[in-house]
Structure 1
Amino acid sequence: MPDTLHPDPEQLATWLQATAKGDAAAFRALYDTISPKLFGYALRILGKRELAEEALQDGFVAIWNGAAGYQRHLAAPMTWMTTIVRNKSLDLLRRCAHDLDIDGPVFDAEIMAALQDPRATPIDALLISHDAKALALCMSLLEGAHRQAVGLAFFHDLSHSEVAQQMAIPIGTVKTWIRRSLERLKTCLVKGERA
C-alpha cells in the first residue's frame, strides 16, 4: 500500500516519466498515492468538498497532459503537482467567489441592510450607495486571491493568521497581499473621488 503521507519522490518521478509516455497504470498509481494529500490541500483552499473534487480532477488532467514538461531539476514531483492543484483551486475560487461568500454577496447584503435602515436619511443612503459602488468597483480590480485575502480579513473579520490558514498560504504572503491591496484600493478610491 502506498504511503500517502510521505510519498517517495523517486517513485513519484518514475510514475511521472511513465505518465509522460501515456502509461495509464503509472498514472493510476500516482493518483492513488497522492490524491488524498492533494484533495486535502484543495479542500483547505476552497472549503467545499465538491469544489475541491473539481479542482483535484482539473489538476490531474493537467498533470496527465503536462507530465512530459515536468523538469525534476526545477521542482520536486510533489511540489510540482501541488502547485498545479493549488493553481486549479485558486482559478476555481476566482470563478466561484460569489458562491463561497467571500466577495460580493456578504458585502452586498450588509450594504443593502444599511441602505434599508429606517434611521438613515436619503443623503445617508446616497452616500452609502456611492461609497459601496466605488469600493465594489475598486475591489473588482484586485487580483482574485488578493481580493479574497482582503475580503476574509475585513468583511469576515479574520486575523492574518486565520486568512493564511483558510487560504493555505504563508502568513507573510497574506500580509503582503493585504498591504498592497489596501494601497491599490486607496489609490483607486482617491482617483474615483476626483472623477
Structure 2
Amino acid sequence: MRELLLTSEDIGPAWQSDSAEAPGEQRTSNQACSNAERDLYNKGSAEVVVTAGWVFYGGEQAERVDHIVKVHPARGAAREIARVRESVDRCRTWQAGGVAPGYAFTMSMEFATAPQVGDEAVAWRYNAKTSLAPDVATTYSVLLRVGEVTSLVRYTPSTRMPSSAAEKHLHGLVVAAMARAEKAM
C-alpha cells in the first residue's frame, strides 16, 4: 500500500519527511465542521489507511504536505467523497477557540477547483483567521477517488504564497498522487 503514497521524488528534495498530522482538537461553535477534516485522518470504515507527511523550512514560515490513502469497503469511497462535499457546502464559517486565552479563530471552508483526476474529486480551502495575526492561514485540499480508494492531498503553504500558486502546486501533487494510484492498481 505504501506505493500509493507520494514520495520525496514527487515532493522535492528540500522537503523533510514527517508524519501526517490530523488537525488538533479545538473548542468550537460547530464541532461537526471542525471534525470534517479531522475525520479524513481517521480510519473510520476503511479497511486500510496509509499516511505520509512532509515539511519544508524554506523561509519565514514552514510549508506542509500530508497524504492519506484509504482502501474502503464497497461504496465507502463514494460515501467519503459525498460526506466531504456536504461538509464543505454546509460549513461556511464558524468559531474555534485557540490554545491560549485570547486566541479565537474564525474558521471557514469553501470549494476550490479540483483537477480532473480519478473517478471523482473534490477540492476545498480551509481558512483560519485570528484577530491577533494579520494573515489568514489556508490549507488547500483535494480528495480524489479511484474505485474504492480515496487519496487526500493537503497542502499548507506560507501565508505569503498567492492562492493561485498554492492551488497550482497542490494540483501538481494531486496529479503525481493519481499517477502513483494508477501505477499501483
Normalised-by-shorter TM-score class = under 0.3
Q: Say which one has the larger Rg.
A: 1
Structure whose residues are more often strand by fraction: 2
TM-score by length of 1: 0.23
* Relative contact order, higher structure (CA 8 A, sep 6+): 2
